Chain A
Amino acid sequence: MEKMSRVTTALGGSALTGRTMHCHLDAPANAISVCRDAAQVVVAGRSIFKIYAIEDEQFVEKLNLRVGRKPSLNLSCADVVWHQMDENLLATAATNGVVVTWNLGRPSRNKQDQLFTEHKRTVNKVCFHPTEAHVLLSGSQDGFMKCFDLRRKDSVSTFSGQSESVRDVQFSIRDYFTFASTFENGNVQLWDIRRPDRCERMFTAHNGPVFCCDWHPEDRGWLATGGRDKMVKVWDMTTHRAKEVHCVQTIASVARVKWRPECRHHLATCSMMVDHNIYVWDVRRPFVPAAMFEEHRDVTTGIAWRHPHDPSFLLSGSKDSTLCQHLFRDASQPVERANPEGLCYGLFGDLAFAAKESLVSAESGRKPCAGDRRHPIFFKRKLDPAEPFVGLASSALSVFEMEPGSGSMSWFVDTAERYALAGRPLAELCDHNAKVARELGRNQVAQTWTMLRIIYSSPGLASAASLNHSVGKGSSCGLPLMNSFNLKDMAPGLGSETRLDRSKGDTRSDTVLLDSSTTLITNEDNEETEGSDVPADYLLGDVEGEEDELYLLDPEHAHPEEPEYVLPQEAFPLRHEIVDTPPGPEHLQDKADSPHVSGSEADAASLAPVDSSFSLISVSHALYDTRLPPDFFSALVCDMLRFYAEQGDVQMAVSVLIVLGERVRKDIDEQTQEHWYTSYIDLLQRFCLWNVSNQVVKLSTSRAIS
């Protein structure tokens, strides 16, 4: 009731008017303070001390308090405060340790009233008692606080913080005798004005200096503090021990903090360094400021709400020598710019997704297959009906788990541990790795290794036995022409590599909630994709152990990728030969239709469009050569590596890169290599495969890695 009447008397009849505006000062401001009539503001700094009238359209300079011929340090203000009871009374804190009071009622030009030179060091803050006309409090760098009665020449009492500099002092608005002080060592003390011998209470509020504090205008026990540690904390002082009730993390040290009138949970802050903006926070939502004022070009040094019962006008002074009036309705709202959805992959392929509730319910309705293998879990935040931003705050978090079997990344771990990357001849390495891959059911990868073996180790070295052991040989001399024809045919049908990617992504879309995000995942997030991509392969291999069955299955796996054309069965062995030629004439037809076809098919598919014409000519030519220079394939191999990397199998890309070493390294730019290496090493470390990761680091040729 009492409050209501106050509001009406304060605002009734003549509500504040004005607009967002600023005016240029002659010098940087250190502090500002508002007269209780809300129509005047005083600005103080090292070389400025002026009073401005706040009019509807502009600031008008009313009075310059710096008078006298010589500049005096007494006028170099660190802080200024206007009495909230008496319109004529001001006090300033000078950098040389002097506290000065000013009486605007003096008839002379010089309004200086009293001079207190009791502090030995810079005075950081002055504060008038909210209801007592003659009581002034000061806090200084020398560690003392002094209470002055303006009717006397000297201080009435001195309070020793028993520690380092005092950074702020504030009388409690509600408790007549209480004031709070903050210190450079992170402490906050509570004092009773009648007891200068010792403080009532002390606690450590921040790590490092506490630059400012402010009592809540209505909530008796609430004290907000801001520190160099970039935090704003709200303390409940009514309890036995001061309790931290809210904590806001800002991005720079907090220089000033001021509760917003009439908004119980809002406070404004500005920072000491680097960040020039003024933020208004809802303390219950500590991560995003409720509003932001971006007018200043240098750090803001003083903020003040224009009227104690009007939440929409904020005044500020800055080092950029401007004085600003900010209107709340003109503030920018960072919330609107924030991305309201969040998406994140877990290590084992789990996917968490948070979005506005309305969005999610619509989404899940549209997704018929979301439920089959993954289990969405919904968390709902308990909503507080009192919160002003209910609509914005309610969001749903869905977690999609991998099915225990399919989600396993054991293939990755196994592969990493069992691959041989160095120390043996190339052919052996390739064979070994092919074997590993095959045992893990990753036939496409196995096939790739085999082909690499064939490409890069000279035919003479490759024994017939090992060829036998390796896959899909069937190279009959009559076919090469058809083969190249085939290639040429394919090219237009295939479109581009990226399209292949996307189509592949689509086949997996059931694993992911949002369609739009799938492309993003496949294209940008190599290492993360692995979780959801490769297990699909693994699943196939796992279930269908028999090669024949695999063969049947594989086209099925491949077809959705290239739905545009259907290849005749015969085509598989033929295309297979593109890379398979060098080993020479061996007839192992029984193996020719092995499942690995699909692997090479994928390769060919991805490689073909890049330079189909080139391969058309040179392949047919090369087939009649006894031996191709390994260089001939390097472009293809590089494309193949990129393909794997883009598919998310960065493991394959890096392993091949290491095994082949000089043979391909020069064809792939350093940055890409570095990217692959870092991704792979990061993955290995997430799985705690320290040995493998170290081995990779050691073997890497990228300068940035090793």
Chain B
Amino acid sequence: MRLATTANEAYTASLAVSELLGCKQCGGGRGQDEELGIRIPRPLGHGPSRFIPEKEILQVGSEDAQMHTLFADSFAALGRLDNITLVMVFHPQYLESFLKTQHYLLQMDGPLPLHYRHYIGIMAAARHQCSYLVNLHVNDFLHVGGDPKWLNGLENAPQKLQNLGELNKVLAHRPWLITKEHIEGLLKAEEHSWSLAELVHAVVLLTHYHSLASFTFGCGISPEIHCDGGHTFRPPSVSNYCICDITNGNHSVDEMQVNSAGNVSVSDSFFEVEALMEKMRQLQECRDEEEASQEEMASRFEIEKRESMFVFSSDDEEVTPARDVSRHFEDTSYGYKDFSRHGMHVPTFRVQDYCWEDHGYSLVNRLYPDVGQLIDEKFHIAYNLTYNTMAMHKDVDTSMLRRAIWNYIHCMFGIRYDDYDYGEINQLLDRSFKVYIKTVVCTPEKVTKRMYDSFWRQFKHSEKVHVNLLLIEARMQAELLYALRAITRYMT
């Protein structure tokens, strides 16, 4: 019973959305809308992810008890079983924590009204032109009684939300520029001002959805069937897809080509894994012997930081923002890319002076009770998650590799660990992997299947999803650290 109603509502909501968003390419779709009653939408694409073959992904129905509970919880909370969940279930332990946190942020007690929460989610996802998340949350937004007018653009939303636009922008692309003046501006805007608790809630939502957008692109999540681009009313055999161009060059057509080109000889990639493991072993052994000088250590960080700016895939063509989504934010030209091209200086943030465990946690938990705990658990699980395997090898201690990935992401945001030798990053992460990390974290909309395929070729898909979890959590923590430090500075 419940299932039926939810599906119904979701369905009508999605219709409303497609009308609202009035996709030009789908112009022909209008005619179909009238006939919807007799037509059955067919899923487009193949499974929950465009990057991962459907057969690799767990089929609903073949899950074990733990996963089944997770699916049930996810369905109960969201009223759907979305593709993100289906991909994340590679790592049920993390998924559980993820769903719990998301559920709390969106549906449980909190300082912001429900429709605000979804609207902030839309704003955040729109910064990365992630139409997958935008569509989902447009539905949810309308479902909880949000005003459809707001969806026409940020300028139609209340002034209070408009004020948040600037923070959203800076947080998504250059979080190190956040100052206490940003915070002050939001908190002291007379009748449109935010309370501290609301602001923390909003910041957590923004960072959550920025990261989730990274995950969506990083794993090539397919649109949901009830959303634009997720379905077709024509048989899929027709070559001319009615797909909104949300994929930023990731059309299925490309995939086919890349697929054939991407299949480099297996033996090559086999050596990749071996080489990586060898390096890890070496680092482990010689670490104690060879001691780099202090200046050397410092310069390694600077080098890595500077280099990270220039790490970009060669096929970095200009992509115009998808029209549908761009209306939810202003200043579409503002991005991570800008500063990297100009070689802007990223100041160094010392994690020993302001870290999540000691400072961030306490601040969040004080202003938005319980959420600090939930996010803390999520960080922990993501950081410590390991199956002690690497591709075909078992019983491998991957902590060094995971730490390198985590610290590399923080390094891109200028966050430095005094007790880390950044030389390790260069040894462990090869160029194609760095390109992938960099793109997923900073400009997720530009991720292509080719990038996904070209790093760690011998590794399993579940391991690549694992990498993605590390990426999104490290990114979320980096953004949170900057935002929370600014709030702390405002408060003192």
Q: What is the interface of chain A, defined by CB distance below 8 A to chain B?
A: 46, 70, 72-74, 76, 78, 94-97, 117, 119-122, 141, 184, 208-209, 211, 228, 252-253, 272-274, 276, 297-299, 320
Question: B362 at interface (Cβ–Cβ under 8 A)?
Answer: yes
Instruction: Please tell me which one of the listed residues B291, B298, B352, B353 contacts residue A117 in the complex, with CB atoms under 8 A apart.
Output: B291
If A120-B419, A141-B419, A272-B359 touch, whether A95 touches B492 (CB-CB below 8 Å) is no
B residues near A96, Cβ cutoff 8 Å: 297, 418-419
From residue B378, how far is it (CB to closest CB) to chain A in Å? 14
From residue B388, how far is it (CB to closest CB) to chain A in Å? 17
Nearest 9 CB-CB pairings of A with B: A95-B418, A273-B362, A95-B352, A72-B294, A96-B418, A253-B362, A122-B419, A97-B419, A121-B419
Q: Does B418 contact A76, Cβ atoms closer than 8 Å? A: yes
Q: Does A73 contact B357, Cβ atoms closer than 8 Å? A: no
A residues near B352, Cβ cutoff 8 Å: 46, 76, 78, 95, 122
Instruction: Please tell me which one of the listed residues B298, B350, B358, B373 contacts residue A273 in the complex, with CB atoms under 8 A apart.
Output: B358
From 328 to 387 in chain B, residues with beta carbon under 8 angstroms from any chain A beta carbon are: 350, 352-353, 357-359, 361-363, 366, 373, 376
Question: B285 at interface (Cβ–Cβ under 8 A)?
Answer: no
Q: Does B357 contact A273, Cβ atoms closer than 8 Å? A: no
If A252-B362, A273-B363, A274-B366 touch, whether A297 touches B357 (CB-CB below 8 Å) is no
CA distance A96 to B298 in the complex (A): 11
Question: B35 at interface (Cβ–Cβ under 8 A)?
Answer: no
A residues near B363, Cβ cutoff 8 Å: 273-274
Instruction: Please tell me which one of the listed residues A72, A95, A228, A274 contacts residue B491 in the complex, with CB atoms under 8 A apart.
Output: A274
Number of CB contacts from chain A to chain B under 8 A: 67
15 contacting pairs across A/B (C-beta < 8 A): A73-B297, A73-B418, A76-B352, A78-B352, A94-B418, A120-B419, A122-B352, A122-B419, A184-B357, A209-B357, A228-B361, A253-B362, A273-B358, A276-B492, A298-B492
B residues near A273, Cβ cutoff 8 Å: 358-359, 362-363, 366, 488
Question: B318 at interface (Cβ–Cβ under 8 A)?
Answer: no
From residue A554, how far is it (CB to closest CB) to chain B in Å? 48
Q: Does B359 contact A95, Cβ atoms closer than 8 Å? A: no
CA distance A467 to B309 in the complex (A): 86
Q: Does B492 contact A297, Cβ atoms closer than 8 Å? A: yes
B residues near A209, Cβ cutoff 8 Å: 357-358
B residues near A119, Cβ cutoff 8 Å: 419
Q: How many residues on B have C-beta within 8 angstroms of the other chain's C-beta atoms? A: 23
Question: B315 at interface (Cβ–Cβ under 8 A)?
Answer: no
From residue A226, how far is it (CB to closest CB) to chain B in Å? 13
Name the residue in B357, B419, B491 with the highest tally of chain A Cβ atoms < 10 Å from its Cβ. B419
CA distance A95 to B362 in the complex (A): 21
B residues near A253, Cβ cutoff 8 Å: 358, 362
Question: B295 at interface (Cβ–Cβ under 8 A)?
Answer: yes
A residues near B492, Cβ cutoff 8 Å: 276, 297-299, 320
10 other A-B residue contacts (CB within 8 Å) besides A46-B353, A97-B419, A276-B492: A46-B350, A46-B352, A95-B418, A96-B418, A120-B419, A228-B357, A272-B362, A273-B363, A273-B488, A320-B492
CA distance A444 to B361 in the complex (A): 56
CA distance A253 to B488 in the complex (A): 14
A residues near B359, Cβ cutoff 8 Å: 272-273
A residues near B361, Cβ cutoff 8 Å: 208, 228
B residues near A272, Cβ cutoff 8 Å: 358-359, 362
CA distance A211 to B357 in the complex (A): 11
Q: Does A73 contact B294, Cβ atoms closer than 8 Å? A: yes
B residues near A76, Cβ cutoff 8 Å: 352, 418
Q: Does A70 contact B362, Cβ atoms closer than 8 Å? A: no
CA distance A253 to B361 in the complex (A): 10
If A252-B362, A273-B363, A298-B492 touch, whether A70 touches B295 (CB-CB below 8 Å) is yes
Minimal Cβ-Cβ distance residue in A for B488: A273
CA distance A78 to B353 in the complex (A): 9
CA distance A683 to B294 in the complex (A): 67
From 282 to 297 in chain B, residues with beta carbon under 8 angstroms from any chain A beta carbon are: 287, 291, 294-295, 297
From residue A368, how far is it (CB to closest CB) to chain B in Å? 48
B residues near A121, Cβ cutoff 8 Å: 419
CA distance A195 to B81 in the complex (A): 53
Instruction: Please tell me which one of the listed residues A95, A298, A299 contacts residue B419 in the complex, with CB atoms under 8 A apart.
Output: A95
From residue B364, how far is it (CB to closest CB) to chain A in Å? 10
If A122-B352, A141-B419 touch, whether A73 touches B362 (CB-CB below 8 Å) is no
From residue B220, how far is it (CB to closest CB) to chain A in Å? 34
From residue B369, how far is it (CB to closest CB) to chain A in Å? 12
A residues near B353, Cβ cutoff 8 Å: 46
Name the residue in A46, A274, A276 with the highest tally of chain B Cβ atoms < 10 Å from its Cβ. A274
From 275 to 327 in chain B, residues with beta carbon under 8 angstroms from any chain A beta carbon are: 287, 291, 294-295, 297-298
Chain B 442-457 interface 0/1 with A at a Cβ cutoff of 8 Å (1 = within)? 0000000000000000
CA distance A496 to B350 in the complex (A): 65
Chain B 405-428 interface 0/1 with A at a Cβ cutoff of 8 Å (1 = within)? 000000000000011000000000
CA distance A470 to B262 in the complex (A): 90
A residues near B295, Cβ cutoff 8 Å: 70
CA distance A320 to B489 in the complex (A): 11
Q: Does A252 contact B419, Cβ atoms closer than 8 Å? A: no
A residues near B488, Cβ cutoff 8 Å: 273-274
Q: Does B418 contact A122, Cβ atoms closer than 8 Å? A: yes
Q: Does B419 contact A74, Cβ atoms closer than 8 Å? A: no
Minimal Cβ-Cβ distance residue in A for B360: A273
CA distance A272 to B360 in the complex (A): 10
CA distance A315 to B366 in the complex (A): 28
CA distance A252 to B287 in the complex (A): 39
